Amino acid sequence: MTIHVVGNVCVDTSFRLERLPQPGETLNAFATGKGAGGKGANQAAAASRTGAEVTLWAAVGKDAASEWIERVLATEAPVLRLCHLDLLCDRSVVMVDRFGENVIVTAADCAQAFDPLAMTMLGETWRSGDMLLMQGNLGSAVTAACVRAAREAGLVTVLNPSPLPTEPLDLTTVSLLVVNRPEAEAMTGEADAECAARRLLAMGAGSVIVTLGSAGVLLLEESCAGFRIPSEEVEAVDASGAGDCFAGTLAGLVAQGSSLRKAAKLATQAAGIAVGRPGTLASFPTRAELSALTETLKLDM
């Protein structure tokens, strides 16, 4: 099974601060960094580090930043299928306080202009039994069309719709929906995570995972009681990218035959490692670390 990750890539510039600034306030950072990012790139890298076969479909510009990020991503295992547009490379600014909380602003011109079904060979490349993994950075109509086409072609469809679109999502084409607690509430109006997850199942999703931050993960499959996975207590350094680490690791393990429950348990552990380190993609567990976790948790691959 190949995982086709369709999403965005960008250059992340991070600033570490004692606290996040107030409106109109200027603060000095005590550390800065630069790295490859974007939810598509992050999730593709995390999935690849589990040992899964991954192809990343994304758009970049034709500037020096795009050339740099392509070189960086080439060091990861995903096969790159990048569409080069006459635009500047997408960028994100990430501000992180001393408790690990973050604020992110993204310029996403490439992602918003990207239509993979029209601009690439995606529809001719995927095969029945493969997996599609998408996020919310592309245009909402483009995302919906990709998920629908993938489902019709016999793919397993995994959607992590962050950032959420303004239009309602058609969840009947989604095999597995991965959202955090605020996203689940925004989509359903339900403040309780389990009530929200059940509502999302009723809206058509095959299975639902709601990530709960330090409270762990809630997994709900059709006709099953909610299954909660606690997270280990960690000292938070930088929470940016933790959700991508979880989603990519989860998809990579499921694609290799793991049960959803066991994959979610290991993905929760992987995200906990990422939270305890600075940076986004740079904080994700390595292949060796994921292999060690797999042995510890005795996953049936």
pLDDT digits (tens, 9 = 90+) for 51-92: 999 999 999 999 999 999 999 999 887 899 999 999 999 999
User: Can you tell me the distance from the alpha carbon of 195 to that of 226, in angstroms, rounded to the nearest whole number?
Assistant: 10
What does residue 289 show for φ and ψ, rounded to 5 degrees? -65, -40
Say which CATH architecture domain 2-297 belongs to: 3-Layer(aba) Sandwich (3.40)
User: Can you tell me the distance from the alpha carbon of 156 to that of 147, in angstroms, rounded to the nearest whole number?
Assistant: 9
For range 8-24, the mean pLDDT? 92
> Quick one: which of 144, 9, 157, 22 has its CA closest to 84?
9
So what's the pLDDT on residue 300? 45
Residue located via tokens 């997996």: 131
Domain parsing of the chain, residue ranges = 2-297
pLDDT at 225 over 70: no
What kind and span of H or E run contains 294?
A: helix 287-297
So what's the pLDDT on residue 64? 94
Q: How far from 59 is each of 84, 135, 255, CA to CA, in Å?
A: 6, 14, 24
Band of residue 299 on the pLDDT scale cut at 50, 70, 90: very low
Q: pLDDT over 90 for what percent of the chain? A: 70
Contact 243, 213 (CB under 8 A): no
Contact 102, 95 (CB under 8 A): yes
- Tell me the three state secondary structure of residue 12: strand
User: Can you tell me the distance from the alpha carbon of 69 to that of 57, in angstroms, rounded to the nearest whole number?
Assistant: 14
- Quick one: 110 exposed, middle or buried, by C-beta within 10 A (0-12, 13-18, 19+)? buried
pLDDT at 224 over 80: no
So what's the pLDDT on residue 279? 73
Give whichever of 179-183, 241-245, 257-261 has the largest mean pLDDT: 179-183
User: Can you tell me the distance from the alpha carbon of 10 to that of 178, in angstroms, rounded to the nearest whole number?
Assistant: 22
Q: What is the pLDDT of residues 141-176, one digit of tens each?
A: 999 999 999 999 999 999 999 999 888 899 999 999
Q: What is the pTM of this model?
A: 0.91
The strand pairing partners of 6, in sequence order, are: 57, 134
Instruction: Kindly report the average pLDDT of the chain as a whole number.
Output: 91
- Tell me the three state secondary structure of residue 83: strand
Amino acid occupying residue 112: Q
For range 131-138, the mean pLDDT? 96
Band of residue 36 on the pLDDT scale cut at 50, 70, 90: confident
* Measured torsion, CA atoms of residues 5, 11, 17, 23, in degrees rounded to the nearest 10: -90
So what's the pLDDT on residue 223? 63
> Quick one: which of 214, 212, 224, 221 has its CA closest to 182?
212
For range 249-268, the mean pLDDT? 94
Contact 268, 216 (CB under 8 A): yes
The strand pairing partners of 95, in sequence order, are: 15, 103
User: Can you tell me the distance from the alpha carbon of 105 to that of 194, in angstroms, rounded to the nearest whole number?
Assistant: 30
So what's the pLDDT on residue 275? 83
Contact 60, 110 (CB under 8 A): yes
